[in-house]
Every structure is written in structure tokens, then in C-alpha cells.
Amino acid sequence: MKLSPAKVDQLSDNLLDYLMEVEGVLFQGTDGELLHALREIMTDELMIEERLDARVHKMLQAYKYEITTQRLKYDELFRKMRQQLIKDEDIVL
């Protein structure tokens, strides 16, 4: 994950503080429950990109021999395959 757990905690705290000041926002739960939910949501969203990168890496490993023997640029193939998956599956990063 590109953010540390401490940073996710800080951002969750800041977001909850901000939402508490917004007029018309009603909460159903304690501060602890809301912070826990915010942390989970943020962590899940941050992990989408990591799971995508791992998936692309695994797909390219199947073609490792061809990539090596044809002297293809792994980074370029990785970027192109990643962009194609994002487009095909409507992934939002």
C-alpha cells in the first residue's frame, strides 16, 4: 500500500472531523465505529492498485520466455497491459 497505516489513520480522523462539521450529515454509529469503517474503505481502495499490479505481473510471468527471447521491454508491456485491464474492466484508481 502506498500510504502507511498511520497516514490512513490520520486521513480517516481528518475526514471524520470534516464530516462532523458539515451541516446535514447524520451519523449512525459511534466515532470508533465510523473511524473503523473509514479506515477499511480507504485501505480497500488503496489496495485496488496493488492487486491490479500483482495481476498484471502474474499474467506477464506466463510470457516470461517470449519476453526474454524477443527482447521485449517488460516495463512497457506491463504499462500497456495495465492500461488495457483498467479500460476493459472500468477500474477506477
Q: How far apart are CA 89 and CA 79, in angstroms?
A: 15
Q: What pLDDT does 32 receive?
A: 92
pLDDT at 46: 87
First to last CA, the chain: 13
- Cβ–Cβ < 8 Å for 85, 56: yes
- Residues of the chain under the 50 pLDDT cut: none
Domain boundaries of the chain, sorted by first residue: 5-88
pLDDT for the residue 44: 92
Cβ atoms of 38 and 20 within 8 Å: the answer is no
d(CA 44, CA 61): 25
